[in-house]
Structure 1
Amino acid sequence: MTRTLTEEELVATIARLTSDRLTEYLAAEIVIPEQSEQGLVYQRLDVARLELACELHDQYDMEADALSMMISLIDQMHCLRAELREVLNAVEAQPDPVRERLVEVIGTARFSRS
């Protein structure tokens, strides 16, 4: 079972996070905690997202809404990388003639858009 953190544990875990900052981040939907018998609880992924949000907030003086957009873009980039990895694995699994043709077609398409 995945260990979850309460708000108090979360604030104690993330050095730069305060209750007020967490409230801002919740309003901007940087994280969306789960409701449990203990109240709102946070997952390990939430900890990573909040650590990144705090770092960006402190380094670049970003507002919560801008942080939300930035983290959303990072999420999209990670999804695209995972999808690309799947495509590359599928191409790699093809016989040599098919792989060579795919490389040729992709290369032509890539350079013809410039």
Structure 2
Amino acid sequence: MSRIYTETQLVARITRLTPDRLTEYLAAEIVIPTQSDQGLIYQSLDVARLELACELHDQYEMEADALSMMISLIDQMHGLRAELREVLGAVEAQPDPVRQTLIEAIGMARFKR
């Protein structure tokens, strides 16, 4: 179950995050909070994204728009890794002759370039 944070709790939880920085990150859509009766609320995933954004901002002096693009690329990479795990699981579930054929075909495709 994911924990819910208000803006005040979020800023208190992430030491490098200031209200101004959060406003900047919201404008760049680094996180997209949910509107509730209590105002904007954030999930645990938002905490992780904001911690990463603050770290990249401080360490590499990245602007919010560049951070947004970088985090989007990281999200895409995680998505592709999840899809690859599913494909590998499907290949592993095949009978040995089919699995060997797939491994050979993938190997040839990789080194064909």
- The interval holding the TM-score normalised by the smaller chain is over 0.9
Could you tell me which residue of structure 1 aligns to residue 33 of structure 2?
Answer: 33
Structure 1-normalised TM-score? 0.97
2: CA distance, partners of 1:49 / 1:25:
10
CA RMSD of aligned residues (A): 0.7
1: CA distance, partners of 2:39 / 2:9:
12
Matches within 5 A, 1:2-81: 2-81=2-81
Could you tell me which residue of structure 1 aligns to residue 87 of structure 2?
Answer: 87
Structure 2-normalised TM-score? 0.98
Identity of aligned pairs, percent?
A: 81
2: CA distance, partners of 1:40 / 1:103:
48
SS at match of 1:15: coil
2: CA distance, partners of 1:72 / 1:2:
21
- Any unmatched runs of 5+ in structure 2? none
Q: Deviations over 1:70-108 (max 9, x none)?
A: 000000000000000000000000000000000000001
Give every structure 1 segment of 4 or more consecutive aligned residues whose post-TM-superposition deviation is greater than 2 Å: none
